[in-house]
Amino acid sequence: MKKKEIAVIVGSLRKDSFNRMMAKQMIALAPSTINLKIVEIGSLPLYNEDLESNPPKEWSEFRESIIGYDSVLFVTPEYNRSFSGTIKNAIDVGSRPYGKSVWDGKPAAVASVSIGQFGGFGANNHLRQILVVLNMPCMPQPEAYFGNAQQLFDKEGNLINEGTRNFVQSFMNSFAKWVERNS
């Protein structure tokens, strides 16, 4: 059986982002049936429909990249009880022009990572709402909210709590099954 290819969209652009650390741990703990790769979104120009007649090369490259993936894993921080603007921009770029969305039908999952105790609950659920209109079946369970992120990693970005590590591995196993059932 061919491995499923998963795009990982990380919503925080900060160099030492806890979201990027979590994404790397999720990739490391994923089962061998899926292959995950972080797709960078920080250099995407803001979406402006006026540019569609001659889209920026970054948009075209991003759209082509996402088309090649079977599924998407979003890893988002929480900003003002919502997901990051970088993810929203990537979603907008990928969903346009109207009727040519690169997201259509791709199974997805959302993990939110926050220094707050609620683990980005607002961001996670807001992003899930958006995935509905994109026609991306989002894995309903288990949900992944990682709070107090500053306490989860060592200096090298590795998870230091065995319980969190086990949960991430379980989440990734569930996601692999979700992708297989919904691809």
List residues bridging with 62 in a β-sheet: none
Topology (CATH level 3) of domain 4-182: Rossmann fold (3.40.50)
Q: How far apart are CA 40 and CA 43, in angstroms?
A: 8
pLDDT confidence of residue 7:
98
**If you search the block for the tokens 């894993």, which residue do you land on?**
73
Residue 119: band (very low, low, confident or very high) from pLDDT cuts 50, 70, 90? confident
pLDDT confidence of residue 43:
96
pLDDT confidence of residue 118:
86
Q: Quick check: 26 and 91 in contact, CB under 8 A?
A: no
Q: Quick check: 124 and 110 in contact, CB under 8 A?
A: yes
pLDDT confidence of residue 117:
87
